[in-house]
Structures are given as C-alpha cells and as structure tokens.
Amino acid sequence: MAGLQKAATRRQILRNRGLKIKGEGDERRMTRESTVVHELMLSNQAFVLLADAIRELSLQKGKLQRLKDVVAEGLRVNLPANEKSAAALKAYEPFDGTIRVYLRLTTRTNAELDRIKNDLNKPANNQFGVRETLVFLCLMICEPEKFACKI
C-alpha cells in the first residue's frame, strides 16, 4: 500500500512540475515542452496597457485570462504589422521602466512572437524587442480601432 502511495505522489510531483506522463506501465515516458522565459522591465504606462488587455480579454471570454492568453489572442488575430501600427506603437513610448514582468512562452509561440517583432522592425528600421511586441499585442486588444481589426 505504501508503495502505491509513493508512486502516486511521484506522479503528482511530476505533474506539478509540468511534466506529462505518457503511456501506462513500463511504457511511461516523461516529456516537457521547452520554454523561453523573458524578463521584461515595463514602465507604468506599459504595465497599465498590459493590465487593460488582460481585463478586456477577460471580459470578452467571460473568465479570468493571463498574460500568455493575451499573447495567444494577439497571435491568433495574426494582424500584419506595418508602418501604421509601428507608428502607433511609437506614440506610447517609452516602455522601459521599473516594473518587472516575466513572460514564459513555448518555443513555438516565441518563434511566432519573433515573426511579429521582425515585422514591426521592418518599416523604418525600428529597434523593437519582445517588450515592445508585447505592448503591440496588448494594444491590439485594448484599442483595436487604431489597428483596424476586430477581436
């Protein structure tokens, strides 16, 4: 009996760590999707935009959303970044500040975020990073009229 409890406890610990157990019996394998963690330093204004995006998306979906849900929704909309959107984003600068936010993304989601970041940087040789791209996605949700999209 004690051995079964230990096995159940080990499975629960693995699940809590984000590991998934596939298969049964001797065929158990643990997999973990690799992630990337971005440490972002935000200004008060950028943080308010982030909080507003979470609030707006939560109201739309009818349940509390997280920052990664904001990113997923922004990527789902798949709005191409252009000169107009880059100029609208510049109007909200500066984004650098003292509020620390950690953003954990899967490698696939991170690659999609990099694609948007590169699109934002193309028009006028901008130097936007992950922080600015995150603010862009938040603006797509908070102020869709500036980006001519419906969410």
d(CA 30, CA 148): 44
pTM attached to this predicted model: 0.71
d(CA 27, CA 5): 20
Local confidence pLDDT in tens for the 151 residues of the chain: 555 555 567 667 666 666 655 543 433 444 466 888 999 999 999 999 999 999 999 999 999 999 989 999 988 876 666 677 777 778 888 889 999 999 999 999 999 999 888 888 877 677 888 998 899 888 888 887 766 544 4
Q: To the nearest 10°, the Cα dihedral for 16, 21, 26, 27?
A: -160
Place of tokens 């984003």: 89
Distance of CA 16 to the CA centre of its chain: 21
From residue 135, how far is each of 23, 29, 50, 82, 146 by CA, in Å? 41, 38, 7, 15, 13
Answer yes or no: are the C-beta atoms of 60 and 69 closer than 8 Å.
Answer: no
